Amino acid sequence: MIMRDDEIQSKCYGELGCVDYTDQWYHSLHRPVNFFPLERHLIAVKFWVHTRSKPRSNLTLQVDDPGSVTRAGMDAQKDTKFIIHGFLDTGTDDWVQEMVQRLLDAGDMNVIAVDWRFGALPMYQQAMANTQLVAMETAHLIRWLQSSHGLNVSRVHIIGHSLGAQTAGYVGAGVPGLGRVTGLDPAEPGFQHMSPVVRLDPGDARFVDVIHSDARSFITSGLGMLQPCGHLDFYPNGGREQPGCGSYSDTISVFMESSVDDFEAELFACRHMRAVRFFTDSIGEGTSCSFIGHECGSYEQFLEVRCR
């Protein structure tokens, strides 16, 4: 644990590089304390590869093992999407698998689920720190694929939810020229109002788009950022409240229609997970869900429900 009053401190993780805590990483209110990430073998990041020929494979990529690329059926000349989960989630959760399948249905590409489940466990402050090492592992893999297999990083798209969205930003910072980062309700605690070095920001990729779905303050049980952090930030339904989240009848309805994993996510983080649903439902042409927009002259008109 590192406090602001200490000298600049650093911890290195072999070929991945070092984590350095400068003044930018501290704020008396928003981030008074920093932890170093856990050791690599404890977080044990895995990269599950999914392709159209092997959509449900249990194969992973390993840096410096070209055979792992061949076995997984990955073609580095195609578009590549990475999905990064957040706090208390895994890379094999139902929502990740559904997003993988929707992406593969929409195009012939590589989809890689970044699984850092052992680093995403309580407590939150340690998981928050672990995101840096997860990003370093992911960036290291991308750079290796670039140098050894000709991966075009401008065709790489990182999709992250919650802490995974902040992780995606760190990946982009470590891979110059990265094509796109999509942040799905980026985590607020420890990130909002911090320096762009600490959080997701437009400098992390050629294009950064963000969906904010639970942008209430953390002290009022919100989990996502209100602060804009992309080239394009969406605030569906205002970004703070979401239809279908909160009431008893809504909870029962979700229980009847969802798997156990989805129900737990909806019950405890309904608004926070809604960004995932918005993004997943937007993938591909001819989706069953159409998003309807209404033009508003001002935010005040939106609050008064006076949009056209």
The average pLDDT across 217-226 equals 87
Q: Are strands 207-211 and 232-234 parallel, antiparallel or unpaired?
A: parallel
Domains of the chain plus CATH, in order, are 39-240+271-285 (3.40.50.1820)
Among candidate residues 185, 209, 233, 262, the one labeled active-site is 185
CA distance 201 to 210: 10
Please report which confidence band the pLDDT of residue 270 belongs to, taking 50, 70 and 90 as the band edges: very high
Annotation marks residue 272 as catalytic: yes
- Is the per-residue pLDDT at 259 higher than 60? no
pLDDT at 288: 62
The average pLDDT across 128-157 equals 98
Express each pLDDT in 39-79 by its tens digit.
999 999 999 999 999 988 889 999 999 999 999 999 999 99
Annotation marks residue 193 as catalytic: no
Grouping H, G, I as helix, E, B as strand and the rest as coil, residue 235 is coil
- Is the per-residue pLDDT at 252 higher than 90? no
- Is the per-residue pLDDT at 203 higher than 80? yes
What is the reported pTM? 0.90
Please report which confidence band the pLDDT of residue 220 belongs to, taking 50, 70 and 90 as the band edges: confident
| H or E segment and range at residue 161 | strand 156-161
Express each pLDDT in 68-107 by its tens digit.
999 999 999 999 999 999 999 999 999 999 999 999 999 9
- Provide the mean pLDDT of the chain: 90
Q: Is-contact 178 170, C-beta < 8 A?
A: no
- Is the per-residue pLDDT at 149 higher than 80? yes
Among candidate residues 140, 161, 212, 272, the one labeled active-site is 272
- Is the per-residue pLDDT at 127 higher than 90? yes
Q: Is-contact 267 251, C-beta < 8 A?
A: yes
Distance between first and last Cα of the chain = 52
Annotation marks residue 247 as catalytic: no
Among candidate residues 115, 162, 209, 213, the one labeled active-site is 162
Please report which confidence band the pLDDT of residue 144 belongs to, taking 50, 70 and 90 as the band edges: very high
Q: Is-contact 120 167, C-beta < 8 A?
A: no
Q: Is-contact 69 77, C-beta < 8 A?
A: no
Neighbours of 49 (CB within 10 A): 21
